[in-house]
Amino acid sequence: MIRTFFPEDRVGRSLTLSTMAFALSSGTFYTVSTLYFTLVIGLGATTVGLALGIAGGAGVLASYASGWLADRVGAHRVQTVATALNGLAMLAYTLASDAVVFTLVACLAAVMRSASGTSKQTMLARWYTGPERVVVRARLRVVTNVFIGLGTVAAAAALQTGTAVAYQAALIASGVLLLAATLPLARLGSRVPELPARMVASADGQATDTSVKGPSPLKDRTYLASVVCNAVVAVQFGLLTVGVPLWVASTGAPTAIVSVLLVLNTVVVAGLQVRISRGVCDVRHAGTAVRRASWLLALACGLYALAGYGNVITACVLLLLAGLAHAFGEILGEAGGWGMAFELADQRNAGAYQGLSQTGYAIAAMISPLLVTATAIEHGTAGWLALAALFVAGGTGAAAVARRHRPRATSVPDAPLPVTSPTISV
């Protein structure tokens, strides 16, 4: 935990501090945003849903485009600018007075959030090497979950007050936190002299202003297959946020169990994500992790379905077991997905590859609420079994891709870490 929250190397420390502020902002924003949009601005729920759907589509497109840009101007620069513009977008929400302005602001926020995520992934891909990338990524995920929780708790004050001024203050705080998230990154290039050259695309490991000479990920069938399979498994994020709350309401369990499941998920992720991620040391192990994750997710789907047939006690026990299987499936799937995204990429244009990987996750996030409600919620047990089969198919496919992978001879080998950036023990 000390290494997670207080990394020894300067790049990891800067990313961690930035992630703390970013996650605090996210927790605050997600807690009050819907109420602010509907009660303060006065937009209808349908209008908000449509605007956010449009913004989500823009964010999907930005995931890949920002990776392409990171290869050319530097991932650290894209990360800094995108985070700052995201903060300005949060502040601009307080000025939105109609549906058109709200939609434009939402699109800017979604695009910059996607760009920030892709550029951070690219920074990890370019600065760290081998399994270390997955471990550092896991540590950042733990930091994100913990500080989103803290942001949610802090925003409870606005909910308790329940006034327009309180909601507006929470949104302003969210924007200010995002602006603060740029501070650890702003001068990182000058403080770590080796960083700028490592953050842009090259054909020989050195910075270049010429066109990228590495292959396009859109023509890399192995990488495309990996992205598709991992996106299928990533649909599981819609279960806990959308599917489970709706399903619990139809069972004999009290609705308060939803909060227990969310806390359980957070505790498991915070406690075990880094430890489990250490086992992902190459492509083959990453594919195996995704396959095992899919089995756990399928088990969780079966247990969720069975919870609909028992009394209160039986339903609660089954839901807790399902939540536990779901949490372990989530952390295994994330670790394996990161490992495949990093290890299957051509390092000459890591940004484009990581951008494509993030695009897969963005699409999964966009369709998962609809898919989960159309299966499990609409059709009950049959729907849960369909989701279980979908997860197993995705995990099996990911393992097959990893098993058949052969290292490309043209890939640029990972550059050794500079002496100013100590290797993190894995």
Residues 7 and 54 reside in one and the same domain: yes
Q: Find out whether 330 and 323 touch, Cβ atoms under 8 Å.
A: no
Q: Which of 138, 170, 186 is the last residue of a domain?
A: 186
Q: Is the dihedral of CA 110, 116, 119, 125 positive or negative?
A: negative
Residues 26 and 161 reside in one and the same domain: yes
Q: Strands (DSSP E) along 263-391, which ranges? A: none
Give me the half-sphere count of Cα atoms (radius 13 Å) on the Cβ side of residue 345: 30
Instruction: Please indicate, yes or no, if residue 418 is contained in any of the structural domains.
Output: no
**Res 46: pLDDT:** 84
Q: Which of 168, 186, 204 is the last residue of a domain?
A: 186
Residues 276 and 175 reside in one and the same domain: no
Long-range contacts of 70-74 (CB under 8 A, 24+ apart): 70/118, 70/119, 70/122, 70/199, 70/351, 70/355, 71/122, 71/200, 71/201, 71/212, 71/349, 71/350, 71/351, 71/352, 72/200, 72/201, 72/212, 73/200, 74/189, 74/196, 74/199, 74/200
Instruction: Please indicate, yes or no, if residue 415 is contained in any of the structural domains.
Output: no
Task: For residues 170 and 167, give the distance between their C-alpha atoms in angstroms, rounded to a whole number.
Answer: 5
Number of structural domains (the chain) is 2
Q: Find out whether 102 and 96 touch, Cβ atoms under 8 Å.
A: yes
Q: Find out whether 248 and 319 touch, Cβ atoms under 8 Å.
A: yes
Residuewise pLDDT in 10s, the chain (426 residues): 788 888 888 999 999 999 999 999 999 998 888 888 888 888 888 888 888 889 989 999 999 999 999 999 999 999 999 999 999 999 999 998 889 999 999 999 999 999 999 999 999 999 998 888 999 999 999 999 999 989 988 888 888 888 889 999 999 999 999 999 999 998 888 888 889 888 887 644 444 444 446 778 989 999 999 999 999 999 998 888 888 888 988 888 888 888 889 889 989 998 899 999 988 888 999 999 999 999 999 999 999 999 999 889 999 999 999 999 999 999 999 999 999 999 999 888 889 999 999 999 999 988 888 899 899 989 999 999 999 999 999 999 999 999 988 776 544 444 444 433 333 333
**Res 238: pLDDT:** 85
Instruction: Please indicate, yes or no, if residue 299 is contained in any of the structural domains.
Output: yes
Instruction: Please indicate, yes or no, if residue 419 is contained in any of the structural domains.
Output: no
Q: Which of 139, 168, 186 is the last residue of a domain?
A: 186
Residues 81 and 228 reside in one and the same domain: no
**Res 206: pLDDT:** 44
Residues 277 and 349 reside in one and the same domain: yes
Residues 222 and 303 reside in one and the same domain: yes
Q: What is the CATH number of the domain that holds 73?
A: 1.20.1250.20
**Cβ within 8 Å of residue 164, ≥6 positions away:** 39, 40
Q: Which of 117, 132, 115 is nearest to 12 (CA)?
A: 132
Residues 222 and 170 reside in one and the same domain: no
**Cβ of 98: how many Cβ atoms within 10 Å?**
11
Residues 230 and 156 reside in one and the same domain: no
Residues 161 and 44 reside in one and the same domain: yes
Residues 126 and 260 reside in one and the same domain: no
Instruction: Please indicate, yes or no, if residue 416 is contained in any of the structural domains.
Output: no
Amino acid at site 374: A
Domain that holds residue 394: 217-404
Instruction: Please indicate, yes or no, if residue 147 is contained in any of the structural domains.
Output: yes
Q: Strands (DSSP E) along 129-213, which ranges? A: none
Q: Which of 420, 361, 342, 281 is nearest to 123 (CA)?
A: 342
**Res 239: pLDDT:** 87
Is 60 buried (19+), middle (13-18) or exposed (0-12) by CB count in 10 A? Answer: buried
Q: Strands (DSSP E) along 19-175, which ranges? A: none
Residues 181 and 222 reside in one and the same domain: no
Residues 133 and 226 reside in one and the same domain: no
Instruction: Quote the pTM value.
Output: 0.85
